[in-house]
Structure 1
Amino acid sequence: MINSTSLSGKKILVAVTGSIAAVKAPILVSRLIKAGAEVKCVITQSATNLVSPLSLSTLSRNKCYQDKDQWADSQTKPLHIALAEWAELIIVAPLSATSLSKFTSGSADGLLASILLASQSQIVMAAAMNTSMWENQSVKKNWNYVKTIDQVITLEPSAGLLACDRVGNGKMVNLDIIEMASESAFIFHAENKFLTKDLKDIRFLISAGPTVEALDAARQLTNRSSGKMGVLIAQAAKLRGAEVDLVHGPVSVQQDLLEGLNTYPVRSSNEMGAKIDDLQPSAQVIVMAAAVSDFKNNSPSEKKISKEFFLKSVFDDLEMTSDLIKNQTKKKLENQIFLGFAAETGSDNEIIEKGEKKRVSKGCDLLMANPIDRAGQGFDENFNSGFLLGPKKMVKNLSFSTKLAISHQLLDEIRNLK
């Protein structure tokens, strides 16, 4: 998920605790190293029964620290202090019930527990445990307390088949989500801030990806869109405490990136419009990032039409699809905020002018006008840029950056409007 510009040169401490999900830690370390990060590892005693410290040392190119190293006489500074000061970010993956309990109670029993108490950097905690343990009232109390700490980015376990053969909540979130949370932490770190739950109690409705309109049994109309921008906005909002409904067409992003979201897959513009109609009344923020097909066939054939008759039959029945953004803004409720998107070509001034016309005509509070004719950004790329247009002739230049960084900038502006 992450490209080399996101984490390159960053100092990350990966902490592994005693959950069966510890077997995924070497993969996480390898991915961070490939992304250009400098990685050190610390492992609890129980986790050494599940994953080898040697494998973590080999993959990280650094010593993997254990409890027995904490008071080694070779240290010129207490090890937990040295590691806490070295790390720009700490990732605890997996976080066991035991390590969670130690952290919430302020216990410094063990190397990792001491590091977490001494750290002033952001901490990503990805919980993983048996379903019954996760649902235990004491564990829930500890987890809910951790969620109130600005320093900590909490990643709740997902549902799935667990190592104990039980199906339920307790599975560690996938590594793409952990990496995205880490990248997000560094986006805020660049501004000397923590990523916090500043969007808590706000419900987002986000559309993403293309819609597809059938022409006959073999042919279809669509617009170019991977859906990545909308999906990343959704995940960024969730990291910041929002509840997110994502209505998406056939996106071409990793399915793991949809984890944790309330997803509603659709295919046609009519299906997308109907689902958005259902969800809009409960949303405070609506982000229309989908690339809705501009045209549809009123009555597509259930058979494949021969090439000789195809053009005539298509043009006879072709019509414009409904403007979903305009339809929704007409139903805007009090205090709802609408963010629209416009993919444009041309000079900066041309893009701003066309974007502002669309913002006004569609009734959006904000509109992101982004160029699609510039190398290395836009469709199918990890990067984007553009102009955020708003009330009182507001024009904010969102310079070339990762789509995740752009997502957080857009959320900042939405929060400011709220």
Structure 2
Amino acid sequence: MRSETPVVSSVIPADPLAGRRVLVLISGSIAAVKLPLVVSALVQRGALVRCVLSPSAERLVSAVALASLSRAPCHVESDQWSHREARPLHIELAEWAEVVLLAPLSATSLARWVQGLADTLLASTLIASEAPVLAAPAMNSAMWAAPAVRRNWRELQGWERVLPLEPGSGLLACDRVGDGRMADPELLLLALESVLLAGCRRDWQGRRLLVSAGPTREPLDPARCLTNPSTGRMGVLLAQAARLRGASVDLVHGPLAVDPAWLEGLHSHPVLTAAEMEAALLRLQGGADAIAMAAAVADHRRRTPEPTKLPKQALADALGSGWEAVPDLLAGLVQRRPPAQAILGFAAQSGEVLEQARAKFARKGCDLLFANPIDRADAGFAAAGNEGWLLGPRERQRHFGPTGKLALAHALLSALAEVVALRAPVQATADP
């Protein structure tokens, strides 16, 4: 008998940030000039925002501008102790916050935090807060590589209520090219959503996840191709959620229609055709603890694409012949996987989703299969939300949605992590 669980009852709001109390702590790095964009975006999405500037950050960002953008007072160092306040300001701010965004995190503020110093308003607020903290460093690449900074950053990795967001590489304000660039504002917003949805868990730490995402394009001639409306949003969010939970992620993707910032921190492998995707997946499969096949791979391709553009008169004849089925990439990965590797498949369906999904799950042989409708409003291709059925071993199934795709990504990652743990070889222990 199949075990069916009811529809998930805790459906998240359309925007996970709406109505949430976000405390933005801004320390002294030139990347602070990006924070007004973040504050403005948070307010536009319905978040309640309050800001604190460190003494150094006051020289880089206007407190008046932040107050106007946040619709709330922006607190600076001189506000720390005031006869007009009935309670210490750092305690009031710390208790108000549901989540803290510490960006940019400078080398000085990092050292103060790790050492437990509370000599500024920002530092004392940070230490007093019991809310989860998203920490996004920004500094010169030589400073980021300094042994003392690396030691402090490693210390932060083990703190349960902190999500450390590694800086990226690129052109820095000092004209050097290297590590130390603060995460893009769009990625900061995505990471804040992730903290509100899943906390600061690092349950994928030390694991490698291989994800496929987006459509493939099978050329008919130099001007035409067979493809589908997939944007890659679900697969990219799955990859980024895993990365935020500690995984090292390889993302093999077709042409995407997502914010480029969402690819930061991922090992991206862009492809166009199903053959290119298959080759990349085979090359990367061996090092993965788990695979999530979220790509919308074309079902057929031209045996031999035309070398020149076909005239309109010849197009109908070309569409009627010369096609072959694309190999089943998911089934191929299942056949070749090492014993401990867990695999999650995806099935985009129309009509009766569940019955089709059960048949497909039986054929594919993967550990989990998520089947979602593509003929319903606010689900499937290009939609911000999704819904569907997750099928698992022993005929277990669970319905999700309607829900946001990032929330769904975290739920699927948790289910996949359980399978990874079950498939992992038991470590032999020495006799006492």
The TM-score, its normalising length taken from structure 2, stands at 0.93
Which residue number in structure 1 is paired with residue 226 of structure 2? 221
Contact 2:136 2:167 in 1 (8 A): yes
Secondary structure of residue in 2 paired with 1:282? coil
Q: Does 2:305 correspond to 1:300?
A: yes
Q: How does 1:76-225 map to 2 (within 5 A)?
A: 76-188=86-198, 194-225=199-230
Query: By how many angstroms is 1:66 displaced?
Result: 1.2
Judge which range, 276-285 or 59-68, deviates more.
Answer: 59-68
Task: Work out the number of aligned pairs and report it.
Answer: 408
Which residue number in structure 1 is paired with residue 50 of structure 2? 40
Unaligned 5+ residue runs, structure 1? 189-193
**Which residue identity is paired with 1:362?**
K
Give CA-to-partner distance per residue, 1:45-81, whole Å, 9 cap, x none: 0011111111111111111111211111111111111
Secondary structure of residue in 1 paired with 2:83? coil
Which residue number in structure 1 is paired with residue 69 of structure 2? 59
| RMSD after superposition | 1.0
Q: Select the residue among 279, 288, 291 that pairs with 2:293.
A: 288
Judge which range, 177-186 or 273-282, deviates more.
Answer: 177-186
Which residue number in structure 1 is paired with residue 248 of structure 2? 243
Contact 1:297 1:314 in 2 (8 A): no
Which residue number in structure 1 is paired with residue 84 of structure 2? 74
Q: Select the residue among 411, 415, 420 that pairs with 1:413.
A: 415
Q: How does 1:371-410 map to 2 (within 5 A)?
A: 371-410=373-412
Contact 1:158 1:171 in 2 (8 A): yes
Report % sequence identity: 46
Give CA-to-partner distance per residue, 1:171-190, whole Å, 9 cap, x none: 101011111111111113xx
Determine which structure has greater relative contact order: mean sequence separation of CA pairs < 8 Å that are 6+ residues apart, divided by chain length: 2
Contact 1:4 1:36 in 2 (8 A): no
Q: Does 2:359 correspond to 1:354?
A: no
Contact 2:29 2:104 in 1 (8 A): yes
Give CA-to-partner distance per residue, 1:294-320, whole Å, 9 cap, x none: 110011111111122222233321111
Distance 2:418 2:271 in 1: 31
Judge which range, 87-96 or 307-316, deviates more.
Answer: 307-316
Query: By how many angstroms is 1:222 displaced?
Result: 0.8
Distance 2:153 2:33 in 1: 23
Distance 1:34 1:5 in 2: 11
Judge which range, 390-399 or 301-310, deviates more.
Answer: 301-310
Q: Select the residue among 328, 336, 342 that pairs with 1:337.
A: 342
Distance 2:200 2:117 in 1: 25
Q: How does 1:246-261 map to 2 (within 5 A)?
A: 246-261=251-266
Contact 2:14 2:404 in 1 (8 A): no
Unaligned 5+ residue runs, structure 2? 1-12, 422-432
Contact 1:4 1:35 in 2 (8 A): no
Distance 2:338 2:62 in 1: 56
Q: Does 2:274 correspond to 1:272?
A: no
